[in-house]
Amino acid sequence: MHIFTAAIATETNSFSPIPTNEANFADDFYPAGTLPERPMMFAAPMQVVRRHAAERGWTVIEGLATSAQPSGLIRRATWESYRDRILADLEAAGPVDMVLLGLHGAMMADGYPDCEGDLLGRLRAIVGAKTVIGGLLDPHCHLTPAMIAAADVLIAYKHYPHLDAFDRAEELWTLCEGAATGRHRPVMAVADCRMISLYYTPVEPVSGFVAAMSAAEQEPGVLSVSLIHGFPWGDLPEMGTKMLVIADGEAALAQSLADRLAADVQAMKGRTMTPLIPIDEAVALAGAHQVAPLVLADFADNCGAGAPSDATWLLGALIRADVPDVGIAFLHDPQAIDLCKAAGVGARMPLRLGGKTSRFSGPPLDLDIEVMHIAENARHDFGIGHFDAGTVVVVRTGRNVDIVMSSNRIQCITPGAFSDFGIDPRAKRVLVPKSMQHFYIMFSQLGGPVRYVESPGVASMDLVNLPYTRVDRTIWPFTAAASL
């Protein structure tokens, strides 16, 4: 067997003011044959394929592997260059029996609203109809007809937070290897749930639905079941929640199960995510809180959904309310970091923080601060991978308010965002991770309540008022708003 594998992934927020180009991909850019061994979620299929093929003595040709922190539209030349590089890597590999890819599913470039569909279609044109093409997707993707038409097997992570990337990569390998050796004949079916939301898999009702998907995979003839959550901030007609089922040679079975599960998803409408609370309510909770840290997720400024991570709405409100013992991470402000580095640890000085990227970022904060910690070449580890944080600087203001800044835009996922840089998270009254949901598992273990805060931002869940131009407004929640 000859296998080609590659990976390219990012998540495009149509409302983000940050363009995506070569610089965004630079931290995770590995030309053909150079992908390291350390676990990387976006490249999970490549690393799983590498191990299984070695056990069988099969040939693996590794192409380009790269990923970028979510942001705005990918520059046309950047997308065409990386796409064509993967295609050239494939052509140089010669005839192959399988193509396995690490993808995202919500990549959009100037002139290419469906990057994955574009790539998969061109790959299919090169390898022909008999070669098995499989791809691993983030569930926050747009499952387009072009993607389904070009691939044999598409599988999405089941969990959000995405802790099962390597489990799903193993599943992808099993189905594609089975198809290539004639053991399976995968057929895919899609059912449109006619809605868009976020789906928090650690809690009910979605945790029960994830268990039901896994149980359905044990039914005769069923190979795989994926809930495609959809990415609410991608402005294209295919945006929305879908069910994807793969059956073994039985198209009718796949479609029937997809339709049934889609109806179950629709029955969860309005109950799949924790309600967001306004900033004033969050500040009131913080002022009254006394025990284990209250966690206030700065939801709309999550760079994992393409936000700038320099918003000041929540932080400013907490400071103005004189809430003590607050920690926030990660605020993206390279200019402020440079000033703090020049001053050094222990320096006390006035500093203007945040509020730099766009109107969604809020006003900058003018604070008197002390530089508490500086870390060069810092990392934020989260089990199945890590983020390169660049330079991390911690500054303290007011009543023991600690602000963790990073020169690279990264999402706060674990309390290590504080403890790794000299802050005891359990000693804080309030912790503010700039994240939507990936923070939840580790932060909830601190023992305090967790609340999700709504504020202005490019990742706001006020979907009805976002400036979409292409989405299907006949799906929920647009239909619910129209009926008011």
Q: How far apart are CA 169 and CA 166, in angstroms?
A: 5
- Across the range 371-396, mean pLDDT stands at 94
Confidence check: pLDDT of 384 > 80: no
What percent of the chain has a predicted confidence (pLDDT) above 70?
Answer: 99
d(CA 301, CA 303): 6
pLDDT the model gives residue 482: 67
d(CA 314, CA 283): 8
For residue 342, count other CB atoms closer than 10 A to its CB.
10
* The pLDDT of residue 483 is above 70: no
- Judged by average pLDDT, the poorest of 119-128, 130-139, 154-163, 472-481 is 472-481
User: How confident is the prediction for the chain on average, in pLDDT?
Assistant: 96
- Band of pLDDT at residue 83, cut at 50, 70 and 90: very high
Q: What is the pLDDT of residues 266-278, one digit of tens each?
A: 999 999 998 999 9
pLDDT digits (tens, 9 = 90+) for 317-374: 999 999 999 999 999 999 999 999 999 999 999 999 999 998 889 999 999 999 999 9
pLDDT at 386: 87
Spatial CB neighbours of 405, under 8 Å, sequence gap ≥ 6: 330, 331, 332, 333, 336, 337, 340, 353, 392, 393, 394, 395
Q: Model's pTM, two decimal places? A: 0.93
Q: Residue 480: its pLDDT value, please?
A: 83
C-alpha distances in angstroms, 164 versus 3, 155, 288, 385?
A: 23, 12, 37, 12
How does residue 39 score in pLDDT terms, banded at 50, 70 and 90?
Answer: confident
Write the CB contacts of 27 (distance below 8 Å, at least 6 apart in sequence).
388, 408
What pLDDT does 385 receive?
79
Mean pLDDT on 116-138: 98
Going from the N-terminus, what domains does the chain have, and what CATH number goes with each?
2-267 (3.40.50.2300), 276-460 (no CATH)
Statement: residue 484 has pLDDT above 60:
no
For residues 237-263, give the mean pLDDT: 98
The residue type of 433 is P
Nearest-angstrom CA–CA distance, 62 and 156: 22
The stretch 443-459 carries a mean pLDDT of: 94
In the predicted model, what is the mean pLDDT of residues 445-470? Answer: 93
Please give the average per-residue pLDDT across 398-412, as a whole number: 97
Q: Given the structure tokens 């290419």, which residue do they identify?
A: 112
Let me know how long the chain is. 484
Counting residues of the chain whose pLDDT is more than 90, the rounded percentage is 94
